[in-house]
Amino acid sequence: MSNEDALWASDPERRLVVRAVAKFSDDCSAPDLTPSCPFYELTSTGPICAEQCRDLMERYPADLIRPDHAFLGNALGAVRRPRARHGPDKTDRAFDARERHLSDGKKPLTRWWMTSLLVELLERVTNPGENTRDAAPTESLLRELSHRGH
């Protein structure tokens, strides 16, 4: 049993949660993102997310109810296509890992984006002893990365 599978009390519980996340995700699309989502983040340019729900669903594809073909009656059928990931808004700026790192620095490590953890670790490895800002100890960074499975 993998560490990831140990999170679930049973297979039916995992299937229920993954299917609920799929429904939740299908009902959430830009620009009307769902504020109750734990990954929802409000920025100065509006709400954003990195579609972490999609990443979760991709780890458990067998648990999703997504038949390839649905019979509609009268010899009619439909092929279900999953909702495509939404692209960036035309007014969005390009992703800036350093900007994300600076904004995450004010949060606890458990709320940092993966990019911020890696940028912080890179700074510490390439500039040992030059910790120019008040940040978590390197051991805490490594522990958080390990907790996330990296």
Instruction: Report how far Cα 28 is from the mean position of its chain's Cα atoms.
Output: 14
pLDDT of residue 117: 92
Mean pLDDT value across the chain: 78
Long-range residue pairs from 94-98, CB within 8 A, at least 24 positions apart, any chain: none
- Residue 15 near residue 59, CB atoms below 8 Å: no
Closest among 62, 63, 56, 65 to 4, alpha carbons compared: 56
For helices 114-126 and 97-104, the axis angle rounded to 10 degrees is: 100
Q: What is the pLDDT of residues 3-18, one digit of tens each?
A: 555 677 788 888 888 8
Q: How confident is the model at residue 58 (pLDDT cuts 50, 70, 90)?
A: confident
Distance CA 98, CA 116 (A): 8
Tell whether the model's pLDDT for residue 134 goes beyond 80.
Answer: no
Q: What is the pLDDT of residues 137-147, one digit of tens each?
A: 788 888 888 88
Tell whether the model's pLDDT for residue 79 goes beyond 70.
Answer: no
pLDDT of residue 72: 63
Mean pLDDT lowest among 46-50, 61-65, 114-118 = 61-65
First-to-last C-alpha distance (Å) of the chain: 18
And the tokens for 8? 């679930």
pLDDT of residue 101: 92
Distance CA 120, CA 105 (A): 9
Tell whether the model's pLDDT for residue 92 goes beyond 70.
Answer: yes
- Residue 148 near residue 114, CB atoms below 8 Å: yes
Q: What is the pLDDT of residues 28-47, one digit of tens each?
A: 877 788 888 888 888 888 88
Domain boundaries, the chain: 1-85, 94-150
> What sign has the CA pseudo-torsion 61, 52, 7, 101?
positive
pLDDT of residue 81: 63
AA letter at 114:
M
